[in-house]
Amino acid sequence: MKSNRIFVSLLFILFLSGIVMAAENATREDALNSISSSENVLQKAISVKLPIKYINDSLAEQNRVYLSAKYAEVLRDQTTTFQEQKAAKDALGLVNWQSITYSDVVVIGNRVSARYNEMLNDLDLMLSLEIQVEGYRNKGLSVSVVEGAIADARTAFYDERLDDFNVTISRARDALETQRQSTSTLSVLRTGTVSVFQRYWWELIILVVILIGLAMFAVKRIRIHNLRRRIKKMKAEAVVLVDLTKKAQEERFNAGTLSALVYNTRVSKYQARMNSIKEELPVLEAALRKDLKSRFGK
């Protein structure tokens, strides 16, 4: 596999070298053909709704460089007239015409073709990711992170911000891969759970019954414990209320330190609470006896 990649890379390098060598020896006809090819690329880009700013700018540059190369060719040709030479120099102005050739036009055309193919590949990648996202969405999975990254990549693509596009599309691919791995993990767990239940269903049912029994036992034990605590607390409170009532009577009738109003208020409050305890305590004791009987069978 590694050797195949190296071989493909070498072929690509040789191909690029051939383009460069061909561009270095370009003629006027080659330059015109390159401009025509760029115009065709522009039309194809428009037809498939690709962004065309780079192609438009490059085509305009091609035409400018072609004219400069044409004037430079006049200046290099010793057979041209003085008037032709002067017109060419006037047109070029301060441009360093010695370094301008038709090859420059061809090089720009090659960049236009490469950019067009790159945009097609990028568009195909976005569409592929969107199709995968649609599949996950139809399964009821959350893909909002991936959708957000793809939306950012699409904006960068049509704004012709290549660096931003590469960053955001990589983020979308990473997010989609994470989603794929999570889905695979959940699928494996779900399949494993079903397989375990199918294989050990009888043992699992017994285990569930045992757990339910233990839970019921624990609940009843906690209920008995709470009933005992409440009963004990109420009995202790009843003793305290009796003592408080006696103390109020002593302070009212023996010491004379309580007024009739305060005495009556306190005693009424104590008596109301005592009546409440007398009503609740038998109910709680009956519930405790019932639970103890069902627990110990007596």
Residue ranges per structural domain of the chain = 2-119, 202-296
Count CA atoms within 13 Å of residue 213 on its CB side. Answer: 7
More confident residue, 15 or 207: 207
* Interatomic CA distance for residues 48 and 55, integer angstroms: 14
CB contact at 8 A, 165 and 157: yes
* Interatomic CA distance for residues 22 and 101, integer angstroms: 13
pLDDT confidence of residue 217: 73
- Is residue 247's pLDDT more than 90? no
pLDDT in tens, 152-178: 989 999 998 988 889 888 888 888 788
**Structure tokens belonging to residue 81:** 């007239």
**Crossing angle between the packed helical segments 102-138 and 144-158, to the nearest 10 degrees:** 160
* Interatomic CA distance for residues 64 and 58, integer angstroms: 10
pLDDT in tens, 9-47: 444 444 444 444 445 688 889 999 999 999 999 999 999
* Interatomic CA distance for residues 188 and 192, integer angstroms: 6
- Is residue 215's pLDDT more than 90? no
CB contact at 8 A, 161 and 122: no
pLDDT confidence of residue 184: 57
More confident residue, 80 or 261: 261
